Amino acid sequence: MNWKEEYKKLLWILGIFVVIYNLPVGNSRFMGAIYESIALLKWYAREHVLLCLVPAFFIAGVISVFISQASVIKYLGAAAKKWVAYLVASMSGTILAVCSCTVLPLFSGIYKRGAGLGPAIAFLYSGPAINILAIILTARILGMELGIARVIGAVSFSVVIGLIMEFIYRKEEKEKAIAQLATPEPEEKRPIWQTAYHFFVLVAILVFVNWGKPDVTTGAWFWIWSNKWLITGILGILFVISLIFILKIKPLWVGIAVLPVILSAVFLPNQPMIAFTAGVFALSVLLSFSPGEPEEWLGSSWGFAKQILPLLGAGVLLAGFLLGSPDGGQGIIPNRWIVRLVGGNSIFSNFFAALSGAFMYFATLTEVPILQGLIANGMGKGPALALLLAGPALSLPSMLVIKSVIGTQKTVVYVSLVIVMATITGIIYGSII
């Protein structure tokens, strides 16, 4: 028997026992934090799993199955031209307008298909950080200066952090580039425009079903929000066309799968989530009975879901326990402590804002009203920018998933770079403004 391993297990058991034995069950702060962790998990499940993560899993599956490894390597691989790779990575992330957790399946997909570490990291950061809607909202509510600073900081961060990561792991990336150059380019299964059509229809569905309500009741943004489910329905028709003519699934099967979606939309017009849920379920069943690429697509999407969902769930519970839920509930760390620690423009206040923002979870666009409240309570402009640059791009749940994709060391380096650069940028901005 390997007693060294057995002692390790014993230490784990003893450690868990000591923690459970000393749990402050009667303490109101502790019990409140447990409630907030469950409340955050419930909120996350209701607001983000079905509309954000499920489409993202299917998109990641498309990347894994329909987009050839050669295409990913050509534009994002370790041997690709740097300006092309980083331009494609940052622009691809920008159009998605997703949160730090929703971008994870997509990041995992392109990285596993052969994307270089630097471009993959640029994509990972740019998705939630360079969010056009959030930047517009930042400028409107928090001021034009902060909006412009966020744009400049986020765009430069995605490229600079990617380049630094690529430089740090240059030996590993060089070996990957050599291996990719030696890999023969496979024949494409279909014209690139067909894959692009299928991919961008899914991306458009992801974007529009998550379109947030603007703070105005007129204009293009409000019109899109008012009609987002109509737009999603039109995109659904385009998606059905793709299933029949690009994936070659039998029209009769597609028609049967679409029927419950149509019935839900007709008889329950005020409950669009029911129709959307029916669509997700019908698509899953349809793909599972369609051999070949459709079945592979479902299998790949399910693989991403199995890998990511448990880690996200654990991370959301921990984040809620420490920092509370979005409705103002407090975790084990009192909110007033955070507000006191981010006043002024000291190195510490900027660092603390970046650090706390990196571990907090921000759903898309929610960072703006949260910051509005913090600024009203005395938060400095520099720390506000530091939180804007670190918060939306990272979260404790996302760190756990990133670790499972690129490893612990690279994750620590990436998180550290984001926090340090956000801190420095906040100090500079706070000194100027």
In a domain, 365, yes or no: yes
Answer whether residue 143 is part of any domain: yes
- What token pair was written down for 27? 């303490």
Give the tens place of pLDDT for each residue, 47-100. 778 887 788 789 878 877 887 666 666 667 666 778 777 877 777 655 555 566
The answer to the question of residue 312 being in a domain is: yes
pLDDT tens digits, one per residue of 296-310: 999 988 987 887 788
pLDDT tens-digit map of 418-430? 999 999 999 999 8
pLDDT of residue 226: 92
Number of domains in the chain: 1
The domain of 60 spans 33-249+290-432
* HEC string for 137-173: HHHHHHCHHHHHHHHHHHHHHHHHHHHHHHHHCHHHH
> How many residues are present in the chain?
433
111 membership: H or E segment, kind and range: helix 103-112
Neighbouring C-beta atoms of residue 132, cutoff 10 Å: 11
In a domain, 24, yes or no: no
Residues 57-69 pLDDT 10s? 898 788 778 876 6
Select from 273, 291, 238, 297 the least CA-distant residue to 57.
297
Q: Among the listed ranges 112-116, 126-130, 331-335, 360-364, which one has the minimum average pLDDT value? A: 360-364
Distance CA 411, CA 397 (A): 12
Percent of the chain with pLDDT over 90: 26
Q: How confident is the model at residue 84, as a pLDDT?
A: 77
Arithmetic mean of pLDDT over the chain: 82
Lowest mean pLDDT among 111-120, 134-143, 227-236, 246-255: 134-143
- Mean pLDDT confidence for 290-294: 91
Residue 275 CB neighbours (<10 A): 22
297 lies in a domain? Answer: yes
What pLDDT, on the 0 to 100 scale, is given for residue 324?
73
Q: Return the H-helix or E-strand segment holding 74.
A: helix 69-76
Say how far apart CA 326 and CA 339 lie, in whole Å. 16
pLDDT digits (tens, 9 = 90+) for 384-393: 889 888 887 8
pLDDT score for 184: 56
Q: Is the pLDDT of residue 282 over 80?
A: yes
Q: In this structure, what token pair is assigned to residue 12? A: 């784990």
Residue 129 lies in a domain: yes
Place of tokens 């569905």: 205
Q: Is residue 277 situated within a structural domain?
A: no
Does position 270 have pLDDT exceeding 80, yes or no?
yes
Q: Which residues of 30-55 are buried (b: 16+ CB within 10 A; e: fewer)?
A: eebbbbbbebbbebbeeebbebbbbb
Res. 148: pLDDT tops 70: yes
Report helix angle 117-129 to 69-76, nearest 10. Answer: 80
Structure tokens at 164: 């630094």
Q: Can you name the residues that pair with 379 across neighbouring β-strands? A: 343
| Beta-bridge partner residues of 115 | 77
Residue 283 belongs to a domain = no
